[in-house]
Every structure is written in C-alpha cells, then in structure tokens.
Amino acid sequence: MKPPALQARALACERGGRRLFEGVDFTLSDGQALWLAGGNGSGKTSMLRLLAGLGLPAEGEVLWRGQPVRELREDFHRQLLYCGHAAGIKDDLAAWENVACNAALAGYRVSREQAEAALDRAGLHAVAAVPAHFLSQGQRRRVSLARLYLEPLPPLLLLDEPFTALDASAVQQLGERIAAHLDSGGIAVYTTHQAHGLRPQHQKRLDLDAVAGGAQ
Amino acid sequence: MTGMLAWIVKRDLLLAGRRSADALGSLAFFVIACSLFPLGVGPEPAALRSMAPGVLWVAALLAATLSLPRLFSADHADGTLEQMLLSSEPLVLIVAGKAVAHWLVSGLPLVLLSPLLALQFGLDARSLAVLLASLLLGTPILSLVGAVAAALSLGARSSGVLVALLALPLYTPVLVFGAGAVDALGAGGGAMAHLLLLGAGLGFALALAPWATAAALRIALE
C-alpha cells in the first residue's frame, strides 16, 4: 500500500518547559491541504517547523512518503517550500535579487528575467529593482511569497501566516495560486488567523487548541 | 555542489559590498590597533622589531573576532538561515562558503595591509615574507574556527562577547605558531616548522570546522 505523502505520528512539542500540543496524528495525500488553526501561542509555527524538519519533536515523528524527514534531509528539502514567519528578505538586495537568492538556496537558479516575472505575478513589477529596505511590510511579504510563482514549484508548501500584511487583491491572488497548486496534486499546510478565500476541495483543519498539552 | 559554495561566496561578497562599513570597521580597527603600539612603546627600533609579529597577530585576531558575530546573526534575524537549513544542498557547503567569504572580506585585507603596517615596526624583508606567509595560512583558520564559535553563540544574549570568549582561546595555537614563525627566523632557526604546523592546522580546520558549524546551527535553530 502506498504511504501517505505527509504523515504526523503522535507528535508532541515543548517550548520553554511547556507542552504546546501532544498526540497529533494526521495524514495528507497529494492534492490535500491542512489548515492549522489555534490561538496565539498554540504552537502553529512550531508545528510547521516540525513538519519542515527544523525542530525536534518532544515525541513522535514526521514522515514524508513513509520515511522520517530528519533522515531524508536534502532529499526532503527538494520537495519542500517553507515560508516562515520571518520573510527571509535582505534589506540591501533589490526585490528581484532577493527572489533569485531564495530560489538559489532552494537549489534552482533563476535569471533576473525569471525573478522579475515572478514578482510581476505577485503584483510587484514596479519595485523589482528597488532595495528591499524601501519596501513596505506587505511588499516584503509579497517578495517572500514570489517564490510561489517560480516554476517548478515543489510539491509540499509550508506557509506560516501567508496572508498577513497582504491587501485584499493579493490575498485573493495567493489563494488562487495555492488552489491551483493543490489542483495539480500538490500539498499545502498553512496557518492563518485572517479571512481568506482559500476553500480547497480537500482541506483538513487541525485546531491546535484542541490538542494542547498541560504544563510540565 | 561546488556551484552552491561559489554562489554563497558571491552572495556574501555582494552583501558585504552593499554594507561596506562593517568590513571597513574591522580593517580600521586593525590599522589603528597596530599603529598605536609604536606610539605607546616609543621609537626604539629593536624593541619594535621584536614585538612586531605579536602585535600584528594579536591585532589580526581581535579584528577577525570583531566581525564574527555578524557571520550568522543577520541571516538568523531575517529568516534566511532557516532557508539555508532547508536548502536542497548540504548545509556544510553553505557554511564553508560563508567562512570563505568571511575570510575574503575580513582576513585577506588584513594580510594585504600587514606589509604596510610592518614598516612602522622596521621589519626586514625576510621577516616580512614569513609574517605574510603565516598570516596567509593562519587567517583562514580564524574564519573557520570563528564560524563554529559564531554558530554556538547564535541567539544568545550578548552574543558578541560570547563569540570572543569562545573563539579567542581556540585561536591561541594560531597566534603561537603565527607569531612564533617570525621569532624563530629572528633567532636564527627556520620558520618552516611553524608554517607547516599552521598549514596542518588549516587542513584540520577545513576538514572539521564546517561540519561542527553546521551541527551547531541545527541545534541553535531547533
């Protein structure tokens, strides 16, 4: 039997001596999305970091196509686009240079034209050559998310508050991009508090408040 | 794989070029620190000649240490370090690239400036050549070992002080053999043994430091 694409098995997470959540089990197959919900401090970002292999769970494990992600390392990273709370933007680089740098770190080189085309799709063509220092928070977020408009897009998207600081049109555009990715068989896990138009057909919702652990 | 290493070096050089004040700051510190000694000690040529290797080496150590806290902290603060840990290329290569770029920005300029500063101490041509060779072999060790200290202190409060406290004791052998090479020449012996030991130290640091740094970064971000 084919293993699920992404699986969390009895995951527990601790931060600062406090157990944020425990006993989290879920599976995601190709084309499915998971919306991580919960109040501030419920562990949404920690969960995304565990799924990316950045954090070490207190208990349990994360599997990618049946294998632990922390053993797969670079093989898993090739399948993953992680957009964390910090935008990963360098103030001293132009917007297009930031897109090219982040793409290069992910393992594929893009030309200035390709980076500018991605920024164009993210609605930032006019500021492609402007140093990120001069961009607003929303524009910086869009620069960070411009990687979503580069091809090829890896199958697994882990997005931490992707809609934050975006205007209504950008929220809609991003929602459409994620939906298109899911329609083509990709997987997305995202956190958000914000109202958004993303209503994929096969979406699961995990409320981390419901699996909160007690104090240690 | 080497493509990623070269790309990281190019990226860090580009960033250093855009924020040149940081690199120029440690270089200015090196020049000022070396220049203060002749003013403080006095113009006695023999005394200046004998202290020259030690002064230049200690100033180089301190100047290299000054720029270490920034090696990973900026990437950590803006989220780039997370992307580095999630790169499809081995983290060891990225770390090695950053150490190479650090040496090119903070180490190589010290080596190139040292002949000029050595003039203040009245070093002869042979001693100067040995000093240059020792700095050329020793300063890359400072960047490689310093990267381990910078990674270990990442996220800590007062990380600048902590980096210095971690790195400076590890720099001691480099200082001893680096400054000792010129002293050995002055004492009538050859400097080759000291330079070979520095070379061995460089090989050792190249083989181990990127792995240790990568492991420290993974722990720091967990």
Note down pLDDT in tens along chain B; length 222 residues.
678 889 999 999 999 999 888 889 999 999 999 999 888 888 788 888 889 999 999 999 999 999 898 899 999 999 999 999 999 899 999 999 999 999 999 999 999 999 999 888 888 899 999 999 999 999 999 999 999 999 999 977 777 888 999 999 999 999 999 999 988 887 777 889 999 999 999 999 999 999 999 999 999 988
CB proximity B2 to A under 8 Å: no
Nearest CA in chain B to A53: B86
As a whole number, the mean pLDDT across chain B is: 91
Phi, psi of A165 (to 5 degrees): 70, 5
Do the Cβ atoms of A84 and B88 come within 8 Å? no
Nearest CA in chain B to A107: B88
Return the axis-axis angle of helices B125-152 and B192-221, rounded to nearest 10°: 20
Do the Cβ atoms of B88 and A89 come within 8 Å? no
ipTM: 0.90
Sheet holding A67-68, edge to edge: A18-28, A6-15, A59-64, A67-68
Nearest CA in chain B to A105: B87
**Is the torsion defined by CA of B41, B45, B49, B52 positive or negative?**
positive
Phi, psi of B86 (to 5 degrees): -100, 15
Nearest CA in chain B to A52: B86
Token couple for A21: 């959540």
pTM: 0.90
**Ramachandran area for residue A73 (φ above 0: left; ψ -120 to 50: alpha; else beta):** left
First-to-last C-alpha distance (Å) of chain A: 39
Distances (CA, A) of A34 to A100, A113, A195, B97, B135: 28, 33, 16, 36, 55
Total residue count of chain A as it appears in this document: 216
- pLDDT tens-digit readout, A139-188: 999 999 999 999 889 999 999 988 888 888 888 888 889 999 999 999 99
Best residue in A90, A112, A135 to probe B by mutation, most B CBs within 10 Å? A90
- CA–CA min distance A213, chain B (Å): 19
Chain A residues with CB inside 8 Å of B86's CB? 52-54, 77, 80, 82, 105-106
Total residue count of chain B as it appears in this document: 222
Nearest CB neighbour to A74, from listed B18, B83, B90: B90
Distance of CA A206 to the CA centre of its chain: 16
DSSP A73: T
Give CA–CA dist A216/A175, Å, rounded. 38
Query: Which 3 state secondary structure label does DSSP give A9?
Result: strand
List Cβ neighbours of B22 (8 Å cut-off, separation of 6 or more).
B16, B67, B70
Give CA–CA dist B112/B106, Å, rounded. 11
DSSP codes joined into one string, A161-213? STTTT--HHHHHHHHHHHHHHHHTT-EEEEE--S------TTEEEEEGGGGBP
Give CA–CA dist A67/A5, Å, rounded. 10
Nearest CB neighbour to A90, from listed B15, B88, B221: B15
Q: Which helix (H) or strand (E) holds B185?
A: helix B159-186
- pLDDT tens-digit readout, B19-36: 888 889 999 999 999 999
